[in-house]
Structure 1
Amino acid sequence: MSYQPMENYGMIGNMRTVALVGINGSIDWYCHPHFDSPSIFGALLDDNCGGRFRISPVAERVKYKQFYWPSTNILITRFLMTDGIAEIEDFMPVGPALDSPWYHYIYRRVRCVRGAMRFSVLCCPAFDYGRKPHQVAIEPNGAIFRADDSSFALSTEVPLRVEEKGGVGGEFQLQEGESRVFLFKNVDAVQCPCPPPEQEAEELFQSTVKYWQRWLSSCTYHGRWREQVQRSALALKLLTFEPTGAIIAAPTTSLPEVIGGSRNWDYRYTWLRDAAFTVYGFLRIGFVAEAAAFVDWLESCAAQHFVPGQSLPVVLTVGGDCLPPEQTLDLWEGYRQSGPVRIGNAAVSQFQSDIHGEVMDALYLYNKYVSPISYDVWVKIRERLNWICDNWRRPDEGIWEMRNRREHFIYSKVMNWVALDRGLRLAEKRSFPAQRKRWLEERDRIYEEVMSQGWNVKRRAFTQFYGSDDLDASLLIMPLVFFLAPTDPRMLGTIEAILEYPKHGGLASDSLVYRYPPESRIDGFPGEEGTFNMCSFWLVEALTRAGRAHPDKLNQARLLFERMLGYANHLGLYGEQTGSQGEALGNFPQAFTHLALISAAFNLDRTLSSRF
């Protein structure tokens, strides 16, 4: 087999881990038991050695169609051939009690809808990123794969045979109306468990449908582009770690931002930067419980690493622990030979001062819309705001996690302003004891410095850092966090500069927006990366807010937003970036992009509706 395009995948999961299912019926990525655990199927990053679980028709000409069962995260992969129609239902059960025998497994049911069809199945796990050998044993109910510290079972009635590389395979025929069930699950038993009977399999399917439809019924968004907003919400729910409330940046590692390049990072963790956007995105469309759970994670799991006198940690595991040291898997070639494959993320050791603004904004929103924060939490906030007063002048690696430089990034300065501003608002609203005079003075100093040193007279725009001539799309956040009025001439100038084509010094190719000029001199890495989907939605929102006073901006915002919808894959999912040929690049799907889509859609719809 060869590598599928990244955009060919759909995602199933159970709020602990996910699996990526290709449009050809192959599961090529699956970590167990959690998002950041070692992979069991990893063909996404090494087609030869990574491991996969494929079910596909035995035929020369097959048309594929893939979609989600309406209002759920149950993935349907349909095969259309001259001899008939068949489909695979893929999902992980959610909702049953933790002691249920069918919890935490991959469920795959193959159904023949019309005619007669022959299928092949290949299940070839690769434990611990392919580093651990395992033994395979054929059982009456399927097969068991045993490594030193774990075992997985493939339960099925289909006769199997041992294949090379420790896998099993087989073929089976289905007539119209017939089906076969395959369950892949971590087991402690000596023998392979029986697959559920057809009636029980149907009940599992129906109960999972009901769970997702019941969850989605809490969505309060009923505006334009409702289907796309709801799909983003469903994707974000799958990227939530239910035991703690944390949300990961993406379920994959090392999917390249440049094919053949080395911008390959591990995103299977939780960035504190995502806090404000997560809370805002969920609250805007009615998912209060998810927003509250994320703040609970901040207050409990993450707070244990808040050391007085030191910066906040940039990124943590979903359990609130420190990340493992970044290392490379030299035995894997990477997606389309785009190595290295990385585990862990060295950004954990960086100084990124902007995260204080995102965290404070999240806590402010939580206090305003969910529940009052406690005095004990306020004491920690107060200490942190005093720390910001002492440290906001320091250069940092910034939102884009530069690995070759520290600068006075404008985005970081703005977010430090946000931290102090939200702290002042919170203290006033709750009458908390606070060093108001000091915080106000430092907040104003940041503002004046950004306006004097961040503004580039020659470019007539805010630029990436003090003294830089380069634009940065992260500065589109300024009106979104109320640092600058959306109609301020300086903000409008920055938007107009970003809207120029890259060859003319801008960052935008139609609706596609680079995060900064796509040249290696910026971050020290070779190769031109793709455009950042998140930045495209930030541009839409900045134009939307400006459009309340300038109707032409609002029309432009709607046009760009609807064009960006066309860059989602066939399931409505986005990777981190879009390449030069419209392909998905970077880790997939990316939570930040879907959060930005929700925010842009909400504000654009509200502004459009207010005009009538």
Structure 2
Amino acid sequence: MSTRAISDYALLSDCRSAALVSSAGSVDWLCSPRFDSPALFARLLDENAGYWSIGPACPAEITRRYLEDTLVIETTFRTGTGTAVLRDALALGRRERGHALGAASPGALMREMTCVEGHVPIAMDFAPRPEFGLIRPLMEPVRGGLVAHGGAQTVTLSCPVELRVRDATARATVTLRAGQRLCLCLHTGPAWEPEPQCWHPWRVHRRIGDTAAAWRSWSRMHSRYQGPWQEQVGHSGRVLRALTFAPTGAIVAAATTSLPECVGGERNWDYRYTWIRDASLTLQALATAACEKEETAFFSFLAGAAAGLLDHDTDLPIMYGVGGEHDLSERSLPHLTGWRGSAPVRVGNDAWRQRQLDVYGELLYAAHELSCGRFDPVTRAFLVSAAESAARRWQEPDQGIWEMRGPSRHFLHSKLMCWVALDRAVALASTLQATDQVPRWKRTRDRIRAAILTRGWSEETGAFTQVFDGKGLDASALMLPIVGFLPGDDPRVRATVDAVATRLTDRRGLVLRYRTRDRLGGEEGSFLLCTFWLAHALALTGETGRGEQVFRTAASYANDVGLLAEEVDMATGEPIGNFPQAFSHIGLINAARAIRDGGSRPGQ
């Protein structure tokens, strides 16, 4: 059973796949060649599911950081005899710069340990376990390293020192003295293709430097945000880029699967996919972080993946694989015990089958957020169809933004986003060449507005509620001012924001999604995204000072290298959930902008 804290990990990315490396120098998660590929290292979910560790063979004081403006992680080990520095990176394409990040990534995980003072004994363990630990590969030495065979992948380890192989694990020990370095590299490739050649140590050294230069180049091109929390906004923009699958522009919700929302519980989902739900807020965040190319690529992916699916009888899928796949059928991996015993471990996500009416609003909102404002005929027709579907289906029940696995209900947020779909369709009507539809869209938009104001507001609760004619609070009601349904100074908005702040927060000031009981066991944690929503909404109500305080509370749960999880355990204050979480970083960016602008909405 894996027990290391989720916050102990740092993210590596080549904009196609992701790895997580612990502060002790152990890569405990790697999916390659795609974010949603079966894991080669999955010790994050089970001690026997593979890892690759390197570090001092003696006690050490450990510090780490990302090299400035990069996602190259540098870990410093100070021992009684000397100091060693480890640099880890997933290789970007040779001399890739700026917007091209990930276009030609070679699929190489590079590691360089350098002794900078005295001498340090180093130990390395290499234990690949393909397909989430199902396979214990056969290892054979080759010139410059070894090759591991088993399953659909061949794994090549470039290593210039002697390796001892036993029980499908390769080990090496070496003492480095000041000025000496040990350069290692892992390649994966299809088993039916020629084995990747081992890299010379100097090649590893050069490519780590080149990868750092590539990230710095991208960061320089995306650094126009000026204001409070500038460093955090810039870093969050890099995290969103790191979670982007470069070939398609898809952005995954997180790099992992089955890190739980409740320790020891069953709220364990696969987040290595792209949700339409996230689209509009993602595009706002990308715009704030000056990521225009990423905006366009992301929306083009969404429109392409969803096009052709709107008709009178078919629900629009809410999520897709990074290549545009629709069928994301869920299954459990019973051989894995899960992080801290949180089972089942799942791959795939059956939420793809759900009806969520908010997706129409997310698409139109996302289209409206794009600065270019131009669409090809197929995309125009698709967006018009999305508006028509919202107009036709807004009165139907669904599963809502939080994908509740229970009966369909009339969720306020879903109605709100149908209103957004028609409101943005009206604004885009000329661009969509659909001005003839405007009178009808306006009439339906006004009907939805009237329904939200009457059935979504509860005098007894003193706030907008989770479902029509209900009494329970839901953090998604904070979106009412954020999407422009009501102004921040509306008394009902102020009352709802205050209700969330006082009745839907934990003792740390973090916001819960809701308190409604669902069909799943265990209590989930507090949501960082919802806490950033509260900071954002407070800024819109004019209470910028309170918004700043809430923002600082949420941002304080980033780990030592600035990464945010999905939730925070209410009992322990420990970050939990899939990691790092794109939505949390999106919330940070958008709230920072709202506070900087004194509550003005984009475009105002």
TM bin, normalised by shorter chain, reads over 0.9
Contact map agreement 2:513 2:530 (CA 8 A) in 1? yes
1:530 to 520, 525, 531: 525
1:463 to 462, 465, 470: 465
1:355 to 341, 352, 359: 359
When residues 101 and 554 of structure 1 are mapped into structure 2, their CA distance, relative to the original with a 3 A threshold, is: closer
Counterpart AA for 1:161: R
CA distance in structure 2 between the partners assigned to 1:133 and 1:260 by the alignment = 27
TM-score when normalising by structure 1: 0.93
Contact map agreement 1:142 1:192 (CA 8 A) in 2? no
TM-fit CA distance, 1:181: 0.6
Q: Which moved more, 1:26-35 or 1:137-146?
A: 137-146
CA distance in structure 2 between the partners assigned to 1:443 and 1:506 by the alignment = 29
TM-fit CA distance, 1:95: 3.4
CA distance in structure 2 between the partners assigned to 1:355 and 1:125 by the alignment = 39
TM-fit CA distance, 1:85: 1.1
Counterpart AA for 1:28: D
Q: Which residue of 2 aligns with 1:372?
A: 374
TM-fit CA distance, 1:582: 1.9
TM-fit CA distance, 1:197: 3.6
CA distance in structure 2 between the partners assigned to 1:493 and 1:209 by the alignment = 48
Q: Which moved more, 1:307-316 or 1:136-145?
A: 307-316
1:448 to 434, 447, 450: 450
Contact map agreement 1:153 1:184 (CA 8 A) in 2? yes
SS of equivalent to 1:113: strand
Q: Which residue of 2 aligns with 1:550?
A: none
TM-fit CA distance, 1:563: 2.3
Counterpart AA for 1:140: R
When residues 152 and 38 of structure 1 are mapped into structure 2, their CA distance, relative to the original with a 3 A threshold, is: same
Deviations 1:564-593 (A, max 9, x none): 221111011101001122211110000011
Contact map agreement 1:309 1:387 (CA 8 A) in 2? no
Q: Which residue of 1 aligns with 2:99?
A: none
TM-fit CA distance, 1:609: 11
State how 1:13-412 maps to structure 2 within 5 Å: 13-47=13-47, 49-59=48-58, 61-96=59-94, 103-164=106-167, 166-187=168-189, 193-198=197-202, 200-218=203-221, 219-307=223-311, 309-366=313-370, 369-412=371-414
TM-fit CA distance, 1:300: 2.1
CA distance in structure 1 between the partners assigned to 2:180 and 2:419 by the alignment = 62
When residues 192 and 283 of structure 1 are mapped into structure 2, their CA distance, relative to the original with a 3 A threshold, is: closer
When residues 427 and 595 of structure 1 are mapped into structure 2, their CA distance, relative to the original with a 3 A threshold, is: same
Contact map agreement 1:530 1:578 (CA 8 A) in 2? yes
Deviations 1:284-326 (A, max 9, x none): 2211000000111123233254456422111110110113310
Contact map agreement 2:103 2:247 (CA 8 A) in 1? no
Structure 2 residue 576 is matched with structure 1 residue 585? yes
CA distance in structure 2 between the partners assigned to 1:101 and 1:260 by the alignment = 40
SS of equivalent to 1:249: coil
Q: Which moved more, 1:418-427 or 1:525-534?
A: 525-534
CA distance in structure 1 between the partners assigned to 2:308 and 2:344 by the alignment = 32
CA distance in structure 2 between the partners assigned to 1:527 and 1:50 by the alignment = 26
Contact map agreement 1:514 1:530 (CA 8 A) in 2? yes
SS of equivalent to 2:398: coil
When residues 50 and 148 of structure 1 are mapped into structure 2, their CA distance, relative to the original with a 3 A threshold, is: closer
SS of equivalent to 2:77: strand
Contact map agreement 2:256 2:579 (CA 8 A) in 1? yes
CA distance in structure 1 between the partners assigned to 2:61 and 2:327 by the alignment = 42
SS of equivalent to 2:111: strand
TM-fit CA distance, 1:392: 0.7
Deviations 1:342-396 (A, max 9, x none): 0100101100111111111001122xx1241233322222222222222110110
Q: Which residue of 2 aligns with 1:496?
A: 498
Q: Which runs of 5+ in 2 are unaligned?
A: 97-101
Contact map agreement 1:55 1:122 (CA 8 A) in 2? yes
Contact map agreement 1:139 1:192 (CA 8 A) in 2? no
CA distance in structure 2 between the partners assigned to 1:474 and 1:18 by the alignment = 30
Contact map agreement 1:498 1:508 (CA 8 A) in 2? no
CA distance in structure 1 between the partners assigned to 2:333 and 2:557 by the alignment = 31
1:545 to 521, 540, 550: 540
Q: Which residue of 1 aligns with 2:550?
A: 560
When residues 101 and 398 of structure 1 are mapped into structure 2, their CA distance, relative to the original with a 3 A threshold, is: closer
TM-fit CA distance, 1:515: 0.6
CA distance in structure 1 between the partners assigned to 2:272 and 2:416 by the alignment = 27
Q: Which residue of 1 aligns with 2:566?
A: 576
Contact map agreement 2:307 2:379 (CA 8 A) in 1? no
CA distance in structure 1 between the partners assigned to 2:339 and 2:125 by the alignment = 21
When residues 2 and 383 of structure 1 are mapped into structure 2, their CA distance, relative to the original with a 3 A threshold, is: closer
CA distance in structure 2 between the partners assigned to 1:609 and 1:506 by the alignment = 25
When residues 562 and 327 of structure 1 are mapped into structure 2, their CA distance, relative to the original with a 3 A threshold, is: same
When residues 77 and 97 of structure 1 are mapped into structure 2, their CA distance, relative to the original with a 3 A threshold, is: closer
Give the number of equivalent residue pairs. 592
TM-fit CA distance, 1:330: 0.4
SS of equivalent to 1:154: strand
CA distance in structure 2 between the partners assigned to 1:193 and 1:386 by the alignment = 54
CA distance in structure 2 between the partners assigned to 1:237 and 1:227 by the alignment = 15
Contact map agreement 1:20 1:28 (CA 8 A) in 2? yes
When residues 508 and 493 of structure 1 are mapped into structure 2, their CA distance, relative to the original with a 3 A threshold, is: farther
When residues 309 and 424 of structure 1 are mapped into structure 2, their CA distance, relative to the original with a 3 A threshold, is: farther
Q: Which moved more, 1:407-416 or 1:554-563?
A: 554-563
CA distance in structure 2 between the partners assigned to 1:514 and 1:300 by the alignment = 34
CA distance in structure 2 between the partners assigned to 1:12 and 1:506 by the alignment = 34
What is the root-mean-square deviation of aligned Cα atoms in Å? 2.1
CA distance in structure 1 between the partners assigned to 2:399 and 2:86 by the alignment = 45
SS of equivalent to 1:434: helix
Counterpart AA for 1:533: L
CA distance in structure 2 between the partners assigned to 1:197 and 1:402 by the alignment = 51
When residues 342 and 291 of structure 1 are mapped into structure 2, their CA distance, relative to the original with a 3 A threshold, is: same
When residues 441 and 241 of structure 1 are mapped into structure 2, their CA distance, relative to the original with a 3 A threshold, is: same
Contact map agreement 2:184 2:201 (CA 8 A) in 1? no
CA distance in structure 2 between the partners assigned to 1:322 and 1:13 by the alignment = 24
Counterpart AA for 2:319: V
Contact map agreement 1:330 1:340 (CA 8 A) in 2? yes
SS of equivalent to 1:222: coil
Contact map agreement 1:510 1:560 (CA 8 A) in 2? no
CA distance in structure 1 between the partners assigned to 2:405 and 2:6 by the alignment = 26
